[in-house]
Structures are given as structure tokens and as C-alpha cells.
A and B are shown apart, each in its own frame.
Chain A
Amino acid sequence: MTELGEHCDQVCTELHAAWAIAKKDIIIYYLKPNIIVSGMLFPIFMFLAFAIGRPEVPAVMIPGLIAITILFSASSIEPVSIPIERRMKTFDRLLSAPISLHTVVLGESMSGFLYSLGIAFVPLIAGLILFPTPIVGFAALIAGLVLTSFCFATMGTLFAAYPTESPGDIMSMLNLVRLPLIFVSGVLIPLEQIPQIGQYIAYFSPLTYGNDLIQAAFAGDTHFNPAIDVVMLLLFILIFQFVANRLYKKYND
């Protein structure tokens, strides 16, 4: 086999292993009735929390609601499942398998990605059925859902690198990041209306670009060019994947 052939073979092997890890996580953690139900209820409660008493038409809130739903659903499970696997010593199985750390991070992120993609359909379908929220850009919608889900799933896996066996340790750190993101990313208040300092901070938030891309799908009216949103989300995914890989390597040594 040529060197290129061997390389392709190794890439296929790694992708297959990543998919095996994702399948395992889906069976063990995501297909639990309580996880599915709480995942589906989350956007409903978020909607009620932000819609009640506000003068805007609820339809305007649907893209932001989708973005928040993805943020929380994609980044929530790995910070729980990985510490549990550390405690059960099953995580050592992944670390000692003949696969790279990138594959472990990718596999763990894939399950969060698929879960949040599924949950994101709750506000999406509700928006289409209950409110006049026509989709004007299908490509932006697909790109927005896929990239934002993957980005936040990788962020969850990154936080889960912290070497603890207690999910609470990671969730508390994660919430310190996730909650402020909602307020500085143009989800609740349009970017143009937040103070200048807030706008500078928003550039460093992946939620800004995810929300903007999903807004493009519904309103066709966005803060950035959708191509910039896509590039920035891809950049965040690469950064999260790279940093996660380094942290897992460091903490498991």
C-alpha cells in the first residue's frame, strides 16, 4: 500500500472509531427518556421565560431560541458523561485504544452534536407551525444548525477535559461561560443595540456567529456576511478541538 493509501486507511479507521464512540454515548447517555424529555422541554421553558411580558412578536425570537437551545443541549452531556466515565474507569479504555486523542474528542463531540441537532428541531418546527416564521435561506439554516451544534458540542468536550470525576465541577465552570454568552451574542438584544464594549466581546463569542447564521436563514437580515459566520464557526471548532486535544493530553499524563 502506498503512503497515501495508508494515510487514507488510517483516516477511515479513526472516523469509524469516532462513530463507535458517538454510538456508545448515544445509547448510554442520550437515548434515556429523561434526557430526551428534558432536552425537549428546555426550549419551551426558555421561550416562555423570554416571551412572556415582551412586546415583540414571538416569531422574532425563534432564531435566537434555536441558537440558545443548541448552546445548552450540545454542551451539556459530555461534561456529565466524561467525569462519570473517569469515575468508572471506562475513559481509560478510550485513552488506551489504538486511536488518536483527536478521534476521542471528535467521537465525544459527535454524540453531543447529533443530540443537539435533534433537540433544535423542537423550536424550529414549533416556529414553523405556530408562528409566521418562513425560512428564506435553507443553506444558511443547515449550515447554522450543523456548525453551531458541532461548535458547542466540541466546547462541552473541551470543558470536560478538566480532570475531575464530579460533573458538578465542570458544569459550574461551563455555566460561567455559557450564561454570559447569551447576553453578549445578539441573541436577546440585537448586536447594534448593545454598548460598544459588548460588541467587541461579541466578536469572541461563537454564539454570535451561530445566531447570526440562523437569523440569516429566517430574516435574511444579518450583522455579518453569512460566509464570515461560517468561517468563524469553523475556526472556533478547530480551536476548541485543538485546545481540547492538548488538555486531554496534559491532564491524562
Chain B
Amino acid sequence: MYAIEALSLSKRFGNIQALSQVDFTVNEGETFGFLGPNGAGKTTTIRILTGISAPTQGSARIFGRDIVRDTIAARRQMGIVHETSNIYTDLSAWQNLMFTAELYNVGKKEREKRGAELLELFGLTERRDDKTNGFSKGMKRRLTLAMGLINHPRLLFLDEPTSGLDVQSNLIIRDVISELNKTGVTVFLTTHNIEEANLACDRVAIINRGHIAAIDSPERLKNTIQSVQSIEVAFDPVSLVRVEDLEQIPSVSEVRKQGDKFRLITEDPPGVLEEIMEYSRNHNVRVISVTTLGPSLEDVFIRLTGLDIRTKGVKAID
């Protein structure tokens, strides 16, 4: 049985076709990434899969339960971690957890045991009885994740779980996701952090303009665009190097400045390497490091969504 089956999901809002014939399945125990630029249909898909919104056409099943006809039974299998840390800031961490447990019909003894475990797991035990309006962004995010796990879900929807967090919270959350996966929990991960999806997901789907553009494992997706290779080079002094000059090198299709380095996209890395050395001699700059890179999941994303990286930044896709 699949954890999620999306069958020809379509959703129309007035004249806007938000989703069009979206088909995919998520296996039980899999960590599945769902990537796409803003407005691509990610949120609409999640709202349909969690039963908040109904599809205009098509259907979705959660562990075999139709999300429209059998909404409550389907939702009992899920934990949902929304994009915003939607906790009640006038309640304590403990009250937030207990309230969520009551919504999910978790018995008193079980919810108290599970609540204490989760507070410990997310490093919040000492703040258990504090109102959460004094919590940091990372603590609120950790509590949101704990609330999503209070009912021992078989399927966890994670919407941008680590976006904008401090290092400690990031590490705790990534570690918990990894551990969940080992215990057989299916994770549906929506993220803008492509590297996170690359590292955490068994498979990813890329959605663009309401259509699924690709679904596969990160490595296989990268293999589909092997032509997108690149050379990352650092010069000293960097101030003397101009992107426009590097773009003149034959067979370089694109140059991206990334911090103190330049990334040159090319189908001919050896040829470009020679040209770079020539450039450094002619312009009196020293090459201090060179790395040859294969295509990244980000390259796949950019290729499939047609996103213009030069106007949108490199890591933050939106």
C-alpha cells in the first residue's frame, strides 16, 4: 500500500488552474521531497492531501483512505508541520502539546508520556511550563515539530521545516527527520532548500506551474542533465575579475558569482580550465582554487522550472 497516492489531481480557483493532472505516489517509509518555485502548486497540493481543500478533479488516498470521502480516518494517520510555526503563544509548551494530543484523540496517559518524551527530544523540557511567546524562532519550530509528532503519525507532512533557523535547531530537526525515517515513518517534505532535499530525500518531485515536471531520486535526476557541468574557481585578488570577462570564454554558457568564487557552467570543463589559466596570466590574477562539479539538484530544478538564477539568487530559490 502506498502512503500517498495522488491520482490526476487538478484544482481550479476561478480562472486560475493551480494544479493540473498531478500524479504521484509516495511509498511507505520513504522521505519524499516536493520542490517548486513560489506559486507552483506546492501549498495547494498539501492542502488537498491533508483534506483542508478538495480537488476540482482527481483523488488522493492516504494509506488507502480517500482524503475527501474518508477525511478523518486519513488524517488520523498524519502529523502536519505547517510552514509557519503555528503554536499558541499564550499557552505553555506543555499546553500546546496536550491540546494537539486532544485534537488527535490521544489518551491522557499516552499524551503525557509522549509529550514528556518529545519535549526531551527537542530540548524543551526546561521551558515546558513557560508561555511560548518568549520562545526563539528555533524553539517555536522545534515545538511545532513536536506537536506534529504527538500522535505517532505514520505519515508526516513537513512544510519548510528548517527555513531560517539557527544551527542548533537545524541540526536537531534534521536529526529527528533522519531518525523518523529509520523507524518507518513516511516523510513528505516541502522545502526551498535544495541541498536539504538532496541529502534527506529518497525521491523528489519538482512541480512547476501546477504540473509535475519530474519525479525521481536526486542522483538520477542529476544524471538527466549531465551536460550541465561546471568549474568553481577562486581568484586573488577577486576584485580584478569581472563576470563579463569570464562570460566571454568560449563554451561557457553561464557565470554565477557565489561569494568570493565564480561558477562557470560548461559542457567542456578541460577546455574552460585552460582558458581560465590563460585569463589569470593576462589579467595578473592568481587562481587559488579550482573545483570541477557535476550537476546539482539545484541545476535540475533550474533547468526544469526555467528559473532565471541571475535574478533570483543562488540558494534561496524564491
A residues in contact (CB < 8 Å) with B: 10, 13, 16-17, 20-21, 23-24, 27-28, 88-90, 92-100, 252-253
Contacts and interface: CB of A to CB of B under 8 A. Distances in A.
Nearest to B77: A98
A98 B53 contact: no
B84 to A, nearest CB: 4
Given A89-B82, A93-B100, A28 B90 contact: yes
A252 B51 contact: no
A90 B86 contact: yes
A96 B76 CA distance: 10
A20 B75 contact: no
Contact of A24 (B72, B75, B91): B91
A27 B98 CA distance: 13
B52 interface: yes
A253 B53 contact: yes
Given A16-B105, A20-B99, A253-B53, A96 B91 contact: no
B53 A252 contact: yes
B219 interface: no
Contact of A252 (B52, B71, B75, B100): B52
Contacts of B235: none
B104 interface: yes
Contact of B105 (A13, A27, A94, A100): A13
Contact of A28 (B50, B53, B86, B88): B88
How would you classify the secondary structure of chain A's contact residues: helix, strand, loop or mixed? helix
B105 A17 contact: yes
A210 B12 CA distance: 44
A227 B108 CA distance: 41
Contacts, number: 65
A98 B50 CA distance: 10
A20 B99 CA distance: 6
B102 interface: yes
- For the complex of A and B, the 10 pairs showing the least CB-CB separation, nearest first, are A20-B102, A98-B75, A89-B86, A97-B103, A89-B84, A28-B90, A98-B76, A90-B86, A13-B105, A98-B72
Given A92-B52, A252-B52, A24 B86 contact: no
A111 to B, nearest CB: 13
B95 to A, nearest CB: 7
B86 A96 contact: no
Contacts of B84: 88-89
Interface string B257-273: 00000000000000000
Contacts of A16: 102, 105
B19 interface: no
Contacts of B87: 90
Given A17-B102, A24-B91, A27-B91, A93 B72 contact: no
B52 A27 contact: no
A159 to B, nearest CB: 21
B105 A93 contact: no
Which among A24, A96, A99 has the greatest number of chain B C-beta atoms within 10 A?
Answer: A96
B54 interface: yes
A253 B86 CA distance: 19
Interface in B91-130: 91, 95, 99-100, 102-105
A251 to B, nearest CB: 11
Contact of A96 (B52, B54, B90, B95): B52
B41 to A, nearest CB: 15
B246 interface: no
A210 B39 CA distance: 49
Given A88-B86, A89-B84, A96-B52, A17 B72 contact: no
A35 to B, nearest CB: 12
B90 A27 contact: yes
A24 B105 contact: no
Given A27-B91, A252-B52, A94 B86 contact: no
Contact of A100 (B72, B88, B95): B72
12 contacts: A13-B105, A17-B102, A20-B102, A23-B99, A27-B95, A88-B89, A89-B84, A90-B87, A98-B71, A252-B52, A253-B52, A253-B54
Given A28-B88, A96-B51, A97-B103, 14 more contacts: A21-B103, A24-B91, A28-B90, A89-B84, A93-B103, A94-B103, A96-B50, A96-B75, A96-B82, A98-B71, A98-B72, A98-B103, A99-B72, A253-B53
B90 to A, nearest CB: 5
B24 to A, nearest CB: 20
